């Protein structure tokens, strides 16, 4: 099993493996080009993302945007992210349709062993999934292995370390459900 296969499976892997290092450098180069592109030339700037991410439809991300690999990020229809989005995508990140992010959102599938000796050698991760019609407030951190259901609102500044069920408003550190949303339109 290659280090890339281990990474994608959520197993401990060597992040400094040549293949993974080269993949990260490609993603960082494309992010740099995106972040430096003329903001009024939206079409040209967004085209850079199609070389990096799996975009199912209309996607608009404000600069600055950073990711580790890009090829592990799948974005649905009508996605908008405000400034300073960071996605550490060592495992799959799936973002549904009609999702909006406030500024300074951090999504991290990556984590490290607690043992300091192991931490020097390996890292691992767990996938993150966001349903349809989700709104993530500014300065939210979403941690490895989390699923956020359809029609959810995550309040600004929250640290999401556990799954959030469909139709929830959740806030805080750690993020907790504070309200259930009665939706007249089902998740698509």
Number of domains in the chain: 1
Q: Which of 26-30, 39-43, 141-145 has the lowest mean pLDDT?
A: 39-43
Query: Is residue 168 within 8 Å of residue 134, measured between CB atoms?
Result: no
Question: For 164, which DSSP code?
Answer: B
What pLDDT sits at residue 136? 98
In this predicted model, what pLDDT tens digit does every residue of 136-149 receive, in sequence order?
A: 999 999 999 999 99
Residue 125 lies in a domain: yes
Residue 187 lies in a domain: no
Range of the domain at 39: 3-180
User: Residue 114 sits in a domain of what CATH number?
Assistant: 2.160.10.10
In this predicted model, what pLDDT tens digit does every residue of 56-104 receive, in sequence order?
A: 988 999 999 999 999 999 999 999 999 999 999 999 999 999 999 999 9
Residue 121 lies in a domain: yes
| Residue (of 64, 55, 122) closest to 93 by Cα position | 55
Residue 41 lies in a domain: yes
So which residues are the catalytic ones?
112
| Residue (of 183, 85, 83, 66) closest to 134 by Cα position | 183
Both tokens of residue 171?
A: 């806030």
* pTM (2 d.p.): 0.94
Positive or negative torsion for Cα 156, 177, 150, 183: negative
């Amino acid at each position: 099993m290659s280090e890339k296969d281990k990474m994608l499976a959520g197993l401990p892997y060597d992040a400094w493996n040549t293949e993974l290092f080269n993949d990260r450098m490609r993603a960082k180069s494309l992010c740099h080009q995106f972040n430096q592109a003329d903001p009024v030339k939206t079409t040209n700037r967004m085209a850079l993302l199609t070389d990096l991410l799996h975009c199912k439809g209309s996607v608009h991300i404000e600069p600055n945007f950073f990711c580790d690999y890009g090829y592990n990020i799948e974005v649905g229809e009508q996605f908008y992210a405000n400034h300073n989005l960071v996605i550490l995508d060592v495992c799959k990140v799936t973002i549904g349709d009609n999702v909006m992010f406030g500024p300074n959102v951090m999504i991290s599938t990556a984590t490290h062993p607690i043992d300091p000796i192991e931490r020097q050698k390996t890292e691992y991760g767990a996938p993150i999934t966001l349903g349809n019609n989700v709104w993530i407030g500014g300065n939210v951190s979403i941690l490895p292995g989390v699923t956020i259901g359809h029609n959810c609102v995550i309040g600004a500044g929250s640290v999401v370390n556990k799954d959030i069920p469909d139709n929830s408003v959740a806030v805080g550190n750690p993020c907790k459900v504070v309200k259930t949303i009665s939706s007249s339109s089902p998740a698509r």
